[in-house]
Structure 1
Amino acid sequence: MRECNSMKKRFHRTVLLQLITSYVLASGALAQTTPTLYPLTLNYTAPATYLIKDIQVTGTNSIDKEAIVTLLGFNAGDTVQIPGPAITDAIQRLWKQGLVKDVAIHASLAADHHVVLTVSITECPRLSAYSFVGIKKKEQEKLIEKIALVKGKVVTDELIKNLQKAIKDHCVEEGYLHTTVTIASVPDPTNADYMQLKIKVDKGEKVIINAIRFEGNQHISSDVLRSQMRHLREKPRFTLVKDVLKKILTLQPIRKQGILWRPFNLQESWNYLQEHVILLSSKFNQAKLEEDKKRVVSYCQSKGFRDAAIVEHTVDKQQDALLNIWMKVEEGRQYRVGDIRWVGNYLYGEESLKQILSIKRGDIYNPLLLQKKLHNNPEGQDIASLYEDDGYLFFQVDPVEVGLAGETVDLEIRLQEGPQVRINKVLIEGNKVAHDYVIRRELRTLPGDKFSKAKLDRSYRELNQLNIFDPAIDILRVPNFLDKTVDIKYKVKDRPKVEIKFSGGWGDEFMFSATLATNNFSLRNLVRSRAPIGGGQTLGLSAETNGAGYKNFALQFTEPWLGGKKPRYFHLSLNKSSEGNRGSIGGKIGLGTRLTWPDDYMALKGSLAYYRHDYEEYDLLGNNEKHTGVLNDLAVNISLERDSTGPNPIYPKEGSKLELHTNFTPPWSWLSNKEHNGLSVPERYGWKEHHQWMLDSSYFIRLLDDLVLNVRGHFGVLGKFPSQGSIGPFERFSLGGGTRLGNRTLRGEEHISLRGYEDGYITPKDKVTGYKGGVIYDKFVLELRYPIISSYAATAYALAFAEGGYAWAQYKDYNPFVLRRRSAGAGLRVYFPLIIGTTIGFDCGYGFDKKTTDKRYNELEFHFSIGMGLR
């Protein structure tokens, strides 16, 4: 036992001795690996090369040390010349990062011609907070987004200078030319490595333009030149009456070259109006001035002054907030067209091309008109479209001035017809909701077909008419010259899947309607237990009320391509309404098809509708007599339509819409073979009996750029069957007010809007039968429209209108050449697809033919409407 204990003690002593020895040896070895460093004496006349033993970084807080070493351009184990360019370049690279405000590299000498480099840096402070003084919160948000000001960013002198410049540039763009920006950097009291920026902005007064003057223009008046400036305008003024009186007193209209001696020119009249009626001032912007100078020069060139130029301009400060702009114009000679020679035309003869060009020898030389006649003429056919509609996608045409003789320009129009191209692939992108087949069935461009620009434009229109995509549809052509084909790519952007729409009107009482609807429903997906969207079908649930007892609920479903192969229209609607002592229920089913004659803008639609109306103690005939009973309404509706308006259905710029509509019931009086004499009102009028015919036409004419004239005409007539005796009380016409939503009486008056008058102002009464409402009416409208906003989020346009109409109780009194109730006014239309999904309208009208005994005689009428009314 003692021997075992003795052996254990010897073993423990041995182990302890080995551990002590190992520690001593390890300590010695560690001491030997730490080099002894000595100051390095630099010799600038004879630099020496050293081997880098180690690189150390000091002074970093948030910057990664490894990143600093990487930026140096050398590592441990490399050789470096000290002093030498490598050290200088390394310091410059660190400076360029903009992360440090001080940097130095120190070298210490180790054994065996080795050096240890120490990089000492002082980091720039970082941004912890910022504040603005002198600008509103909305402007602050715009600026923060524009200059990308984020917390944690390194604060340097360059950053502060860039901030000052960006803020000042932003304010100058807004018209504040005298803006001063002061930025103070303050240490963060909670963190020494961070700074706070105090940004003070003094915008001063907004600078507007007092006057724009031209000098040197001898043939084109300054008024006309000013009107060509789209962005910059003089301060508001109305000098129209003053200028007209001046011209009349000085007999200018009847003098030579006066307005009475010249043919009417719409562009000239528009320019004159713009010059003398300035409602909104414009802020000064140098970039916009340069754009407007180009527009002025282009206009001069369009009048034959080929060499016109603005050779000098000055911007003078009249007051702190007013500027005067002066421009010196050199018109040069006025040129006319000389000889026109065609080169390279093999497919079409010169006579055909000349007819489209419609520019002849002796005409004023207008380069802008020439280009428009050769390429993309929005007002008619052009040479390029002639070829591209026939498949010549690679067609090129270039007008070349080949001779200047005096004041005549000789032209050579060079054509490169190229090969005929066919469509290879039709690609679709961006439709995350709508199925491909919904898009493809509307396209006129099919694989294998000959390329046609006209079909491309038609496809664009048809996709917009679906109203399920952003109107800004991008169509890309990807040509392949080698195999004479082209791929066409349609890039679309879906609109909201489900819309909450509001419709309404405000005349004598407010009417409100709300609709939960989608025009991209898919019944097929619903049956297959998928998300019921993307099929291009319309499904809507609507509710209508006046807040005082009237309620109307409707469910509607529309399939534009019944069967999926041909454009056959199917419609189904169910309706239930109630108000006080009456209620109605019913529905309608309709079919339609697109026609191909005389063109494929035509459509034929028909429907069958039935409604049952129960009433109790109700004035059915409008003669203050109460009755109780049931009124049945079974009617057939047939309409023949042609719609070529476009390209945007919300703001059409061209095309026309015509519709002939008839609504008739069976001849119940003839079928029943009953004598009406002696029958009670509920018995006699148990079924509605009539035939009604309506004709509506609407034409859109683009006048100048986006200025559009809408000309509309409406006509309606109500007839009777021979067995009726006289025209009944149902479906008569009433005019006056704005767009009305529904029909509030069982008589089913056809309400026609006529702005400037109260709702139902024109409701004639038949002297023989006592029935209220006209049996024939007409209405004519002139409406001038100009867009204010055109974007995906909203469309808005201003309008001015003049309209007139009337309704007659007897055929014999009808006179289509006399507008007995006329009005004029102005309005605004706003469309918010992402918010309410329909058009809001505001109109102010004055009726010229009100009776002097009316309560609101000589007063303006204001109309509010939501939705696009047909009439």
Structure 2
Amino acid sequence: MKKTQPLITLVLTALAFNFTVNTVEAKTRTKVTEPAKAIEAKQNSFTVAKISFVGLETLSEQELTASLPVKVNDRITIPGTELSGAMQYLWQLQRFSDISVEKNDLGQGRISLRFTVHELRILDKVTFEGNRKYKSDELLTKTALVAGQKISEQDLLTAANKIEKLYATKGYLTAGAEFTLKDNGKNHVAAHFTISEGSKVAIEKITFHGNTAFSQNKLKGVFKETSQNSWWRKIFGAPKLDKDKFSDDKNLLEEFYRNNGYRDVRILRDSISYTADKKGVFLDIFLEEGRKYSIRNITWSGNTKDFATTAILNNNFRIKKGDVYNARMIQERLNYSQDNSDISSLYLDRGYLAFNAKLDEKVVKPDSVDLAISLREGEQFQLNTINIKGNSKTKDHVIRRELYTIPGDMFSRSNVVRSIRELNMLNYFEPDRISPDVQQNPENNTVDLTYNVTEKQTDTFNASV
């Protein structure tokens, strides 16, 4: 007799009590077989005389039977919801790859139920072969397979598919992954994946379809990481397809169109086809450009301050009626521009830290857009404390003398930006690791400002330490 692994009776019992009977007769994957003495198709009522299981490997038949929603001596109808409910319950345990039930009419209104199950196998180990481009640990993480988990064949097929997609993102479009299982006994298995990496494919040609506003060469120039082959590129290495970078480049393409008036542009689809020798690919991108839009009316609401009259807002916005619609420029002029001449800077440089601008675009047929911009000005905030974190070698006073944010002053975004620029010029800190942390104190309209810095790794001390 095969050794069984007792289930936690309380867990199964809880599942049984919490189980809601589904009125659907049975899942499509459920197989119900009838014995020689078939039960009539019409609905009849029976008393359950016996319940048994066939095919259990690690589970306890006694505890599984006790946890079923259907019990011995229960009255059930055939067809009915009781038996389909029991099948649903067994599937929800997620312990089996296949379940079927055989009903046997014992006469005198009595019936026996015989469940045949195939337990999900338990994964002991996962190994890989043929992988040179990716380490085994990387592949294991990608597959999400874990030793000790119960697995189905579909789980392994999904894992193989994930491996192939991982290779495809880096240009190995012909890579393949297959798996085999080794039986370790007692329903335990080891999975072994064999990887056929192939080679990266070169991009032989990129073709755009549906483009009338811009030429093929113009659109190809928008792509930063995806380019087609040419005689001079072959000298330095043919361009390879990286699906992740290709996806980024498609986003750049849509952005390019929207910044040139085509706000409704869509990439309908793209296709990849192989050369005869499977060493190259052709990329085809299908576009729907839509109409080219221009700005019609611009309206402002919510502006109550003298420094933000409608005339001043229009002057700072620098987008006027008749201009070609440009999504990036609208956002820059509204929220942040390098010269701090945007609308938000009018408020944020005067302490209005809670300022917010809401943009509503309305298309006016056939090819115009109205911009309605509502402002929430909020209240002014004053600087309270200025803190510095992350400096272990550089003294605080060396940092503070470079700052343009002083306690007691009104908060100013441009002063924060200028302070970060000055700290960068010290060359003591990692440029991309200097970040301000702004904590508002709404109860007294003050702000605590913290500059987080990461000092550069160096064998010498800073001169000003």
- Mapped contact 2:429–2:453 kept (Cα < 8 A): no
Query: Shift of residue 226 of structure 1?
Result: 1.0
- Aligned equivalent of 1:196: 190
- Aligned equivalent of 2:45: 47
- Aligned equivalent of 1:390: 350
Matched, 1:366 2:326: yes
Aligned to 1:385, the other structure's residue is in SS state helix
Give 5+ residue unaligned stretches, structure 1.
1-40, 240-275, 502-514, 516-539, 541-555, 559-568, 572-871
Alpha-carbon distance in structure 2 between the residues aligned to 1:127 and 1:174: 29
Structure 2: which amino acid aligns with 1:422?
F
- Mapped contact 2:301–2:373 kept (Cα < 8 A): yes
Alpha-carbon distance in structure 2 between the residues aligned to 1:72 and 1:495: 63
Deviation track 1:20-66 (CA, whole Å, cap 9, x = no partner) reads xxxxxxxxxxxxxxxxxxxxx9976432356x9x9888865544778
Structure 1: which amino acid aligns with 2:82?
A
Change (3 A) 1:557 1:387: closer
Superposition pairs of residues 342-421 of structure 1, within 5 angstroms: 342-347=300-305, 348-378=308-338, 380-392=340-352, 393-398=354-359, 400-401=361-362, 403=364, 409=368, 411-421=370-380
Change (3 A) 1:115 1:305: closer
Superposition pairs of residues 670-709 of structure 1, within 5 angstroms: none
- Aligned equivalent of 1:88: 84
Matched, 1:322 2:280: yes
Structure 2: which amino acid aligns with 1:471?
R
Q: Percent identity?
A: 21
- Mapped contact 1:87–1:105 kept (Cα < 8 A): no
- Aligned equivalent of 2:214: 220
- Aligned equivalent of 2:28: none
Q: How many residues align?
A: 413
For the pair shown, the structure with the greater C-alpha radius of gyration is 1
Question: Going by fraction, where is strand more abundant, 1 or 2?
Answer: 1
Alpha-carbon distance in structure 2 between the residues aligned to 1:234 and 1:318: 13
Change (3 A) 1:49 1:166: same
- Aligned equivalent of 2:4: none
- Aligned equivalent of 2:119: 123
Query: Shift of residue 143 of structure 1?
Result: 1.0
- Mapped contact 1:470–1:492 kept (Cα < 8 A): no
- Aligned equivalent of 1:281: 239
Structure 2: which amino acid aligns with 1:46?
N
Query: Shift of residue 299 of structure 1?
Result: 1.8
- Mapped contact 2:58–2:187 kept (Cα < 8 A): no
Task: Answer 1 or 2: higher relative contact order, Cα 8 Å, separation at least 6.
Answer: 2
Query: Shift of residue 157 of structure 1?
Result: 1.5
Structure 1: which amino acid aligns with 2:45?
P
Match of 1:300 among 257, 264, 283: 257
TM-score scaled to structure 1, two decimals? 0.39
Change (3 A) 1:121 1:300: closer
- Mapped contact 1:304–1:335 kept (Cα < 8 A): yes
Change (3 A) 1:487 1:218: same
Question: Going by fraction, where is helix more abundant, 1 or 2?
Answer: 2
Alpha-carbon distance in structure 2 between the residues aligned to 1:70 and 1:167: 42
Change (3 A) 1:231 1:486: farther
Change (3 A) 1:305 1:132: closer
- Mapped contact 1:384–1:397 kept (Cα < 8 A): no
Alpha-carbon distance in structure 1 between the residues aligned to 2:430 and 2:142: 32
Query: Shift of residue 144 of structure 1?
Result: 0.4
Query: Shift of residue 489 of structure 1?
Result: 8.6
Root-mean-square deviation (CA, aligned residues, Å) is 5.1
- Mapped contact 1:401–1:412 kept (Cα < 8 A): yes
Aligned to 2:433, the other structure's residue is in SS state coil
- Mapped contact 1:402–1:412 kept (Cα < 8 A): no
- Aligned equivalent of 1:38: none
Change (3 A) 1:48 1:450: farther
Aligned to 1:138, the other structure's residue is in SS state coil
Query: Shift of residue 169 of structure 1?
Result: 1.4
Alpha-carbon distance in structure 2 between the residues aligned to 1:168 and 1:278: 28
- Mapped contact 2:434–2:451 kept (Cα < 8 A): no
Superposition pairs of residues 642-661 of structure 1, within 5 angstroms: none
TM-score scaled to structure 2, two decimals? 0.67
Superposition pairs of residues 331-730 of structure 1, within 5 angstroms: 334-338=292-296, 340-347=298-305, 348-378=308-338, 380-392=340-352, 393-398=354-359, 400-401=361-362, 403=364, 409=368, 411-422=370-381, 450-457=410-417, 467=429, 471=433, 473=435, 475=437, 501=458, 515=459, 571=465
Deviation track 1:111-146 (CA, whole Å, cap 9, x = no partner) reads xx9999987755333223343232227332211011
- Mapped contact 2:126–2:140 kept (Cα < 8 A): no
Aligned to 1:373, the other structure's residue is in SS state helix
- Aligned equivalent of 1:166: 162
- Mapped contact 2:423–2:429 kept (Cα < 8 A): yes
Structure 1: which amino acid aligns with 2:139?
L
Alpha-carbon distance in structure 1 between the residues aligned to 2:390 and 2:113: 59
Query: Shift of residue 180 of structure 1?
Result: 2.9
Deviation track 1:314-355 (CA, whole Å, cap 9, x = no partner) reads 443333122222345565665555554444433212343233
- Mapped contact 2:264–2:291 kept (Cα < 8 A): yes
- Mapped contact 2:347–2:377 kept (Cα < 8 A): no
Structure 2: which amino acid aligns with 1:214?
F
Aligned to 1:93, the other structure's residue is in SS state helix
Structure 2: which amino acid aligns with 1:467?
F
Query: Shift of residue 402 of structure 1?
Result: 6.7
